[in-house]
Amino acid sequence: MGDEKIRLNEGGVNGTGKGVVNTNSNDFIFLKEAVKKHAENQSTEDKAKHTLLSLKLQMRTYILDKKPSTIITVGTFLKKHLKAINIKHKQFAKYVELEESNFSSIIRGRRKLTIDLAFKLGQIFNVEPDIWLSIQNKNELLEASRDNKLSYEKYKLKDLLKKAG
């Protein structure tokens, strides 16, 4: 490759290296129609698999986002997973051996996800348990930093070393 520079997603559009896509171009319209036609011909199972894969990628992207504009809860992701496979909350709660009220509280963000449930979710949806738990931990840290920022700013290594020395 020599001195060539590899460009990965430069400008935000894969493959083109340009930041703007002409959505009125014949090429874009043709591609859009081809994707739409392909999607229409997929089985319900394939559509669910693709949606679940998309959700897994969204979850990973959310974890990597240092300053998300909005907090997305574990319950939100879980609801989307259940919608993708067309399973009712009550059915799912029973399957994973949870009281419906406890499961509902997790969905609504009133209860924390347990390690046990994270493993079950990982097994069912092929999303590693640590991803589910990382989202929960990330959200708790975001909320704590937004709510208590001033109360933690007083703690500094420099001040501690002065007092210790």
Average pLDDT over residues 18-47: 83
Which structure tokens are listed for 23? 């959505």
Give residue 8's pLDDT: 47
> What is the pTM (predicted TM-score) of this model?
0.74
What percent of the chain clears pLDDT 90, i.e. is strictly above it? 60
What's the mean pLDDT when you consider all of the chain?
87
Residue 131 has pLDDT above 70, yes or no: yes
Element (H, E) at 164: helix 157-164
Q: How far apart are CA 112 and CA 103, in angstroms?
A: 10
pLDDT 10s digits, 65-75? 998 999 999 99
Query: Could you identify the residue written with the tokens 């240092």?
Result: 66
Domains of the chain as residue ranges with CATH: 12-41 (no CATH), 44-164 (1.10.260.40)
Contact 39, 47 (CB under 8 A): yes
Distance CA 154, CA 164 (A): 16
Residue 7 clears pLDDT 70, i.e. is over it: no
